[in-house]
Structure 1
């Protein structure tokens, strides 16, 4: 029997609550990992639990199964649909009174946990891997009769996922269950070595530093790239990404660099706010919100600099993608995820955090915009920096997780 057929008998189930049309970094990592492991011969299933019956934003290999556990309306009786609407009104209550908060959590999330347990019993995977806290909570507290290995894959700063009262479900019951769910996993993946200190000492022997993999870009594409005088920023349009600082910085440098432009890619809750800021500052001809793009490779290869003004990052997938396409990067020195991947003055520029952040960012950008030789030097060093995140190395680590072996990546 060939190795390919032997591996195909190893069943890997990835669980994430929402996947339909979602283009975030964690969703991208999930799809890329699932595709790569499928190519290595594993039987892969993605399980979600969401009311939208849409396909994932990123393409899946044809042989990968995608199962949505959320019951479709056409399969429910009229009374069940009416009851569901009444419960959705109840879920919008944000008073979280004692006792009521517990009931509200079970009404809103108990179905995910229960259906996931039944699905595990029906399919009997060898390992189940939960992506992001909602899936970690559901899998950690699920009680299937069949007992596969469980692995929690986390993709942000742990304090933000488990202590921040404004992230995920605001119900305090959810926050408590999020933390206690970690106790039920055989392994826990976190993105950076520094994040390990957050976890309870009793969990430390289950931790594994799991960096995101970086796909290699053909050297010829980088060598023949037609760079334009464009600064690009990529990320969800949310407060934590601090795109407003980049817009403010552009106001300071636009007169010196009239032939340069700035493009911001992403969607999110503050899109209208950023658009208004651009308009009020008179930057509409030079700073553009571009929304989603399925051709990010083209964007990276056409640009000269990546600006990344985020407050923090779990890992910074955008940063590694930019470096892989030969882009020098600029970000704040105190941004976790950025300062782990990038070396100051070697593969990118650290922006000082003291003083005016927008002014400091403007100064760093202007320095690079004036100096094509420095951009070229940083570009080359950035390509070399990514060796530790090479896709085959990270996939080898995922295989260790699948087979229950305790190893650690060198990052």
Structure 2
């Protein structure tokens, strides 16, 4: 039986949570006897970052001859060279003129978007018709829209929701136009099944979805209680750690730096360390310099082994504005780090149980108070760390594998039963 996983963008060379889950899921299905292929549509050269079973095939369907009427990106030059400033100023004016003209010629922004989307959907349909999979799993609603827009696919489809569902099809986080919201919402009509991360996320599915919905959490590496971080040891330097993409809109690392700045002078033995890469590296470096914390706050870059870095830390700080699951947080909890997050953050408020295995703060003031409590009390760190490890036991690889295999079998069976009626 053949299963096709689709992540239409960012799979090649991607180091994010979706890419990791896509590879993990492909391996689970392959090991359990399914013929598995992962497909993407990217104008890049690259390969999967996360390990794949040797029987899993990866296909990039990108076709450079496919017609796409694209707008010219707008670039704002911020350098000191006046000649380059003038050059990019002229280019920016031309780009805006060209884009306005293109949208007008195509009947508006929505029509332009749908024209390009339809062309890509036809490309996907040709590929799927040739492959003839028995089941399709899309790694996002955007991937689902890419393959179904204007198409009729007589194949059952499951969508893997790697965030809170409404983040995928609404404008709750900003940036989506109304026509995009309508198209993404309508795409739920094409689904036979959905995987969500927490039971509470059922409430965030659109009313037009009528398929099977199963709760299957992301897997967290399980750490034996004998290997947990030791909080009763005396050290020369203590460490607050954060792991995640450097993205202040979502991850809010700037908040962690600001909170640490309020406590840094009082607790001279403590440092703050970030592991991850992302678009806001420069912004965070500037903030660190302006606060005079270059010797206390460190941006370490990418790591292939975040658990190794966490093992050397004492507290995990995770001030995200929104999350789907918060895998880095879950890994920190599994290794026995007491953690702090915001009570309003989805995903985070599912993993952290306030005052049981960490702290959920209502605002930055509370987060500062909780961080100070953890700094001064090693026994509190130890108690919360042990409970964190226990709480992560339910998010095992085995539970994820069992959940997915059950969902796949149920959706295929239901689809066949419906076809026989």
Q: TM-score under structure 1 normalisation?
A: 0.85
Deviation at 1:132, TM superposition (A): 1.8
Alignment of 1:216-227 (within 5 A): 216-222=222-228
CA shift, 1:150, in A, is 0.2
The 5 A counterparts of 1:397-408 are: 397-405=403-411
1:243-290 CA distance string (max 9 Å, x none)? 111000111111122122111122222221111111111111111112
CA separation in 2, counterparts of 1:160 and 1:128? 22
8 Å contact 2:243–2:306 — kept in the other structure?
A: no
Larger Rg computed on CA atoms? 2
Deviation per residue, 1:283-330 (Å, 9 max, x gap): 111111122211212112111111000112111111111112222111
Q: Which residue of 2 aligns with 1:179?
A: 185
Asked if structure 2 preserves the Cα contact closer than 8 Å seen for 1:118 and 1:144, the reply is no
Between the aligned partners of 2:286 and 2:346, the Cα distance in structure 1 is 29
Give SS of 1:207's match.
strand
Aligned with residue 119 of structure 1, among 124, 127, 136:
127
Q: Give the unaligned 5+ runs of structure 1.
A: 1-9
The 10-residue stretch of structure 1 (245-254 or 325-334) with the greater mean CA deviation from structure 2: 325-334
- Secondary structure at the aligned position of 2:58 is classed as strand
CA distance in 1, matches of 2:256, 2:132: 49
Distance 1:251 1:123 in 2: 56
In 1, Cα distance between equivalents of 2:341 and 2:211: 33
Corresponding residue number in structure 1 for 2:200:
194
Structure 1 residues 40-91: Cα deviation after superposition (integer angstroms, max 9, x where no partner): 33222111111012112322222211111112x5xx5xxx7xx76x635399
Distance across 2 between alignment mates of 1:140 and 1:152: 12
Shift of 1:167: 5.5
1:292 equivalent among 302, 320, 324: 302
1:91-240 equivalence runs, <5 A: 99-141=107-149, 143=151, 147-164=154-171, 170-203=176-209, 205-222=211-228, 229-238=238-247, 239-240=249-250
**Residues 142 and 168 in structure 2, CA contact (< 8 A), matched pair in contact too:** no
**Aligned equivalents of 1:112, 1:218: Cα separation in 2:** 47
Instruction: Figure out how many residues of one structure are paired with residues of the other and give that number.
Output: 383
SS at match of 1:291: coil
Could you say what secondary structure the match of 1:22 adopts?
Answer: coil
Encode CA deviations 1:153-205: one digit per residue, 9 max, x unaligned.
1222233322227667x454332211111111101222222222233334255
CA RMSD of superposed structures (Å): 2.8
1:102-142 superposed Cα distances (whole Å, 9 cap, x missing partner): 43213433343222222221111121011123202113436
Q: Report the CA distance between 1:222 and its aligned residue.
A: 3.1
TM-score, normalised relative to structure 2: 0.83
| Partner-residue secondary structure (3-state), 1:61 | coil
Contact 1:161–1:167 (8 Å) recurs in 2: no
Write the distance in 2 (CA, Å) between the matches of 1:166 and 1:377.
36
> Pairwise mapping of residues 45-56 of structure 1 onto structure 2 (< 5 A)?
45-56=37-48
2:277 counterpart of 1:267:
yes
| Structure 1 position 242, deviation (Å) | 1.2
Q: State the distance in 1 between where 2:187 and 2:276 align.
A: 32
Q: Which residue number corresponds to residue 70 of structure 2?
A: 87
